[in-house]
Amino acid sequence: MGGQAVAELLGLVASDALFTAAAAVGEGAAGRLLELADELSSRGSDLRLFAGELLGHLRNLLVVKVTAKARQLLGLAPADFERTAAQAEAFTVPRLEVLLHLLGQAEQEMRRSGYPRFVLEAAMVRMAETAAAPALDDLIRRLAELEGRLGGGGLAPPAPAPQPTLFRETPRPPTPPRPGPPAGPSQMSPPAGERPVPPPAAGPVPPPLRPPRLEGGAPPPPGVGGPPRGTAAPPPAAADLSAAWEGVKRRVERQKRLVTLLEEVQEVRLEGETLILVFPNGNTFSRMTLEEPENKQAVGAAAADVFGRRLAIEYRFLAQPARPAVAEAPAPPAEAAAPAAPEPPVPAEPAEHPLVQEALRLFGGRLLPPGRRGGAVPF
């Protein structure tokens, strides 16, 4: 069983596939590269492994191009090194650097993608298209010819037709000629027989007219008594400023945390080149979030897009209103003591006391005169 058959059985990539892919890239044959990817996939080869092996093969070509000690650095078999050195002649160092960059990005993306074959095919097509890009020496030559044509002298001979390139060249519109200074009146010789009229003598320059002053020393309004003074553009109306602010918020709506804080803006003012946003007295977290460089830069970019010029962003926070002092409720008045029941008046004589009268009624007794109280009381 040969080495290529063993490689196919194990899902490895044979060296012939690497040389075939590199040759197709060098010739710009994108169709042949797609056929090679289909053949490797039908054999069961690991396309991620193939991308890594092709990346190493392109690196070998680059080493051969840049150093005379490539044989010692690569450590390839003599036959493989001779084959690699022969294939490297079809590439330039700048192009190999571009190919390594394209394939390296694709190899990283294949690890994360669920469709590694599609990623590899797209990368190989881009690698094949680099064959149509002009060489760096050709670009330098074309720049030198352009400098010769613009520097002076006769026009250089027409350059050969440009080669197809990956980048589109946008022609620049011709620069319009600058207007020269206005021509003065032509000096015509006077008719025969007439004396030339000398130019008027230069007299003293009259002082500039000053605008009249109103009573009380106040300057006149613009447009009265002289040319209007250059003033800054008037601030936009409140309705226009409100609509512009809504446009600013729409441009940063993907930043949810920032938009939530911007919804709390109570007033928007435009003073000169400064956009002032007035917030209620926020907590420390809200202020730190608004002052973050990326958030402030996002608001500034959105404002510049809406207002058409770059504005400075300034945050202002309203002072928290003082809480009214809570008046202490007056202490409830002490309950008035219930008036004591008036004590029954003490009669001057004991016999007139109510208890004595009640006892006499119950027992059917009677009071004796004071002189006879010592004896028995008959019933």
115-171 pLDDT tens trace:
999 999 999 999 999 887 665 566 777 888 888 888 654 445 555 555 544 444 455
Q: What is the pLDDT of residue 160?
A: 57
Contact between 52 and 17 under an 8 Å Cβ cutoff? The reply is: no
8-132 and 238-317 in the same fold: no
- 3-class DSSP assignment, residue 315: strand
Q: Are 252 and 302 in contact (CB under 8 A)?
A: yes
Q: Mark residue 292 as left, alpha or beta (left: phi above 0; alpha: psi -120 to 50; beta: remaining).
A: beta
Q: In what order do the strands lie in the sheet with 267-271?
A: 267-271, 274-279, 312-317
Read off φ and ψ for residue 330, nearest 5 degrees. Answer: -60, 140
Average pLDDT, the chain: 74
CATH number of 8-132: 1.20.272.10
Q: Tens digit of pLDDT for each residue in 305-348?
A: 888 898 898 888 887 665 555 555 555 555 555 555 555 555 55
Query: Could you say which DSSP state residue 134 is in?
Result: P
For the entire predicted model, the pTM comes to 0.38
Q: Which of 80, 75, 79 is CA-nearest to residue 22?
A: 80
Strand partners, 277: 268, 315
- Exposed (0-12), middle (13-18) or buried (19+): which is 223, by Cβ within 10 Å? exposed
pLDDT digits (tens, 9 = 90+) for 179-223: 655 555 444 555 555 565 555 555 555 555 454 444 444 444 444
Segment 206-215, tens digit of pLDDT? 555 454 444 4
- The CATH number given to 238-317 is 3.30.300.180
Domain limits, the chain: 8-132, 238-317
| Spatial distance between the Cα atoms of 71 and 83, rounded to a whole number of angstroms | 12
